[in-house]
Amino acid sequence: MPKTETFDRNQVLQRATEVFHLKGYNGTSMQDLVDATTLNRSSIYNSFGSKLSMFLEVLSYYQSNVSGKIDGKLIHSHNASDMVSAIFEIYIDDILRDEDKKGCLIINCKSEITNQEPLINSFIEKSQDRMTTMLEDIVCNGQMEKIFNQNQTASQYALYLFSSIQGLRMTGIIHKNEEDLRNLIQNILKILY
Amino acid sequence: MPKTETFDRNQVLQRATEVFHLKGYNGTSMQDLVDATTLNRSSIYNSFGSKLSMFLEVLSYYQSNVSGKIDGKLIHSHNASDMVSAIFEIYIDDILRDEDKKGCLIINCKSEITNQEPLINSFIEKSQDRMTTMLEDIVCNGQMEKIFNQNQTASQYALYLFSSIQGLRMTGIIHKNEEDLRNLIQNILKILY
DNA sequence: TTTTAATTGAAATGATCATTTCGAAACTAC
DNA sequence: GTAGTTTCGAAATGATCATTTCAATTAAAA
């Protein structure tokens, strides 16, 4: 029988993420987490403190995975136009791979408990700030390079893109027709040119 | 003490809606519903069957309220342009009045449990169908009246508007600056003209 | 080797979960 | 009036909830 073997924290987070993503915060029980992580109940509390604080770590883990994907794609983009397309491409992939209609963990979490848990709310606010700032930077560059128009400020376009991404991700939960979704993205991006 | 007084079903639904909206489906307990409705626990089961079937009625109740609001505004609109604006106006109102960041009950429900409860999923699908059909009709009229362009089909624009509404509603949970939101809507609608 | 600290399994905590039961109370229809 | 039906309060069901406790086990530090 296993003795004092220190577990792989990232693997545990990965498995916990899958459960929370599938069932939501309130829908996930500590027993679910014990089963999914094959970690001892006491070990979870020793290492993560509580269900809520474990969920916060899961959110960070999920967020950093998404950020990693985005950075990985942005680095191969040569201009603002490619960058914006690359970001939307990530969400298309996400949607088409999401066969069981889980949606985006962060968006789900925002709609489920941002109004109930201050710690979650502040995580979400920070996450949104980071995202809109990134979008604003890209748009700003695109405008300086005359790739995007200047009918609106970079900040206004960033909010528009941020909102559109959330709409796309919510729409994609049920509507999975790739052609429709790609056309939707084309329409979303038209305003920039 | 009250005796055999038959309760007002709509009032009960209204109060149940408020609880579910605030706490979500999994976050709402039967005790919460008993407290909110001041109905007897047995009476709830007698009249609504179960928590899930009560929630389904709550969804219909909420939905018909939204539909009522939309119809009430559409009837005073003289053309497709006014109609689309009127719809977005409803969501602006919704957002600005939503001080406790509850979001839209139907969108919340979609992200919380559409992947867990088939009955909920089919409700959501029907709801989306109705919404996109309505939008498609309006866009179609607008295109026939030459108010909207014909760069895209009415169906494509309907999906775009549907997605944009969801994005707006999600964005508005935390971002409540009216000027920003109105500018966002203007940007969303530009594509139609 | 002994001490220290961490990890484990397993059980217990007490609260809360959705749902059911049941006899008493009270309205409606006869 | 009475019979039938519905609503009521209140308690009980048994399961599950998040969290804690604790002695036994084991690895690393002394």
Q: Which of A116, A99, A107 is nearest to A168 (CA)?
A: A107
pLDDT in tens, A103-140: 999 999 999 999 999 999 999 999 999 999 999 999 99
B4 CA to D1 C1' distance (Å): 20
- Per-residue flag: B52 CB under 7 A of strand C: yes
- Per-residue flag: B34 CB under 7 A of strand D: no
A178 and B190 in contact (C-beta within 8 Å)? no
B164 and A164 in contact (C-beta within 8 Å)? yes
pLDDT in tens, A12-47: 999 999 999 999 999 999 999 999 998 889 889 988
What are the structural domains, with CATH classification, of chain A?
9-190 (1.10.357.10)
Q: How confident is the model at residue A5 (pLDDT cuts 50, 70, 90)?
A: low
Q: Give residues 30-89 of chain A lying near strand C (Cβ < 7 A).
A: 39-43, 46-47
The pLDDT of residue B5 is 53
Is 0.85 surpassed by the pTM of this model?
yes
The pLDDT of residue B10 is 87
Task: Quote the longest CA-to-CA distance of chain B.
Answer: 66
User: Which residues does A164 contact at the CB level (< 8 Å), separation at least 6?
Assistant: A188, B163, B164, B167
